[in-house]
Amino acid sequence: MSPLYSHIHSLSDFSSKLNGFASKSVRIRQNSKYSNGFRCYRDVSHSQQTSPENSPTSVTVKKRIVSGVQPTGSVHLGNYLGAIKNWIALQNTYETLFFIVDLHAITLPYDTKELSKATRDTAAIYLACGIDASKASVFVQSHVHAHVELMWLLSSATPIGWLNRMIQFKEKSRKAGDENVGVALLTYPVLMASDILLYQSDFVPVGEDQKQHLELTRELAERVNYLYGGRKWKKLGGRGGAIFKVPEPLIPPAGARVMSLTDGLSKMSKSAPSDQSRINLLDPKDVIANKIKRCKTDSFPALEFDNPERPECNNLLSVYQLVSGKTKEDVAKECQGLNWGSFKPLLTDALIEHLHPIQVRYEEIHSDSAYLDSVLEEGARKASEIADATLKNVYQAMGFLRR
């Protein structure tokens, strides 16, 4: 789900910072009676759901997916074509929860005046892109108090060594100095684990190269299951067994890899210093036209896909293919005789035509505060029902006196 400090982060977007974490924590997995191994599921498949034929209760139960997005920055074309469109497809097959992770937005210095606005803007643009509130629960993380409560409980079971190895914390604290870095930067991976485990998630969408991104969450789930689940929990009056589902990564159909307009070898990114490098979904027509007019090209004759010496050409043709809805073969045939002077207006028109409905829908949603509030309120209500049940079980298994 995510603009945040500079670009969209999925809930699982922290494994690149783990660096060696999994190998050091494998002992917990081997000891855990609840370990189910690390599997990857690909694509959206009906076989991942319980069907009337294989369910003893003959009730179809959808598998559950969660994803979160941070409320800062602007959603750009790369975010949309590379990820959001896949998430929209998932809502038709899975039970989906998409939330704005505003609690993650305060791990580094931020503008307090902008946080609330950015949260609403992010929710509005995701709805405008096609997230359907009648199919998916859309809510704000801080509106479900169980996120913070579960994080604290998980923190008591998280070895400090697991967090000290996080590369981002090391880098940020080294740059800013220990006195200027909050504890939240160190413990944010535990909050991410809470975000996922709270909803007994079956899957979390990750990219092909991100299969290790869930490792901290999985290891923590297995550790808590081992320490407090099973017979220990049953002796305290609980149902016994595993407290948490151990989520699996879901690798959706390959999304588009949209590259920078100023460098065909770099991904389009909000963190790039120049706004010229990206097409933001809310860019006005004249801005889009100007960015395409000035984007980097080459001096080769004609236009072609898949030439490694022409990354900018391949990128711009791919973008045209995706926003026009045409096949790669049709685009190659249409554009093979064009030069950059004739192709750029074609691409500009296709982009404007594709993004216009999203921009119109965004303005409608953004201007209707009552509607947006009702979506977020209903989403939080549905999410709280699941979250509160999980939290109640954790409190019981950990031995707390409940009201």
Tell me what pLDDT residue 210 has: 56
Question: Would you state the structure tokens that stand for residue 248, as one six-digit string?
Answer: 């699996």
Q: Which of 172, 245, 291, 344 is catalytic?
A: 172
Q: Which of 267, 296, 326, 382 is catalytic?
A: 267
Q: What is the pTM of this model?
A: 0.78
267: annotated active-site residue: yes
Tell me what pLDDT residue 84 has: 84
Give the CA radius of gyration of the chain: 23
Phi, psi of 64, deg, nearest 5: -110, 140
270: annotated active-site residue: yes
Q: Which of 63, 245, 270, 291 is catalytic?
A: 270
- Rounded to 10 degrees, what is the CA torsion of 209, 210, 215, 218? -120
CA distance 194 to 293: 45
Q: List the Cα angle 200/15/318 in 5-degree steps.
A: 100
Q: List per-residue pLDDT tens for the chain, 403 residues long.
A: 333 333 334 444 444 444 444 444 444 444 444 344 445 555 444 334 444 344 445 557 899 999 888 886 678 998 888 888 888 889 999 999 999 999 988 888 888 999 999 999 999 999 999 999 999 999 999 999 999 999 999 999 999 988 887 766 667 677 666 677 788 888 888 999 999 999 999 999 876 555 656 788 999 999 999 999 999 999 999 999 999 999 998 876 655 789 999 999 999 988 788 999 999 999 999 999 999 999 999 999 899 999 999 999 999 999 999 999 999 999 999 998 899 999 999 999 999 999 999 999 999 999 999 999 999 999 999 999 999 999 999 999 999 998 7
Tell me what pLDDT residue 252 has: 63
172: annotated active-site residue: yes
Q: How far is CA 206 from CA 75, 162, 163, 192, 250, in A?
A: 18, 21, 21, 14, 6
